Amino acid sequence: MNRLIIIGASGHGRVVADIACLCGYRRIDFLDDNKSLRNCGKYKVIGPGKEFTEFVKEDTEFFVAIGDTKIRQKIQKGIEKAGGKIITLIHPNAVIAEDVQIGKGSVCMAGTVVNSKTTIGEGCIVNTSSSVDHDCTIGNYVHIAVGVHLSGTVKVGDRVWIGAGATISNNVDICKDCMIGAGTVVVRSIEKSGVYIGIPARLMSKTSEDSWENEEI
C-alpha cells in the first residue's frame, strides 16, 4: 500500500492515523507547521505542512486532518491542484449503507452510521458515534462532531460545523457556513449563516463587544 502523509499533527490527526492503520496503511507520516513537533503519537512529523509539494509522488497519498473547515478546504484544494492524491477513510466499525456516496478527503470514524441514499461531500468529518440517516445531503468540508444525530432527508451546506451531541430533525435544511452549538436541537430550516445554539436552535447575534442576543428562526 502507498505511503500516507497526514496534514495536521493533532489529536484529530492521531485518530485519523489510527483509522488509516486499520485500513492497511503502514507508512504514515505527518506534516505540521508547528516546528516544535517531532512526533504525533507513534508517528513522525517530518516537516511543515506548507512543504507538502515535496511529497507529491506516484506512491504517496494525502489526508488533511485539520478541524477548521475553511483551512481544511484551502489545504485540500492546494494538494489537489499540485497533483496530490486525496484519500477517503472509513473506520472498519462504521456502518455505511451500500448506496452511500462519500467524497474524497472525508473520514467516517468508529461507531458512525450512515444510512441509505445519503451523499457526503468532500473533506467532511463524520465523527465518533454520530449518525446520518437516510436521504441526507451533506455538503463539502462539513464537520459532524461526536454523537451528532441527523434525521432523514436533512440537507447541510458547505463548511457547516455541527457541535457534539446536536440533533437535527428530519426534512431540515441548514445553509452554508453555519456553526451549530453542542447539544443544540434544530427543528426548523436555517437560511442565514451564523452561530446557532439552544433547544430549539436560535441564532446568536452579537450586539456589542460583550453581549449577545437570541433571534428566533
Give catalytic residue positions.
134
Show the cell assigned to 167. 440533533
Q: How many residues can be counted in the chain? A: 217
Phi, psi of 52 (to 5 degrees): -60, -25
Determine the Cα–Cα distance for residues 90 and 108; give it in Å rounded to an integer.
5
Nearest Cα neighbor of 89 from 44, 126, 38, 136 is 126
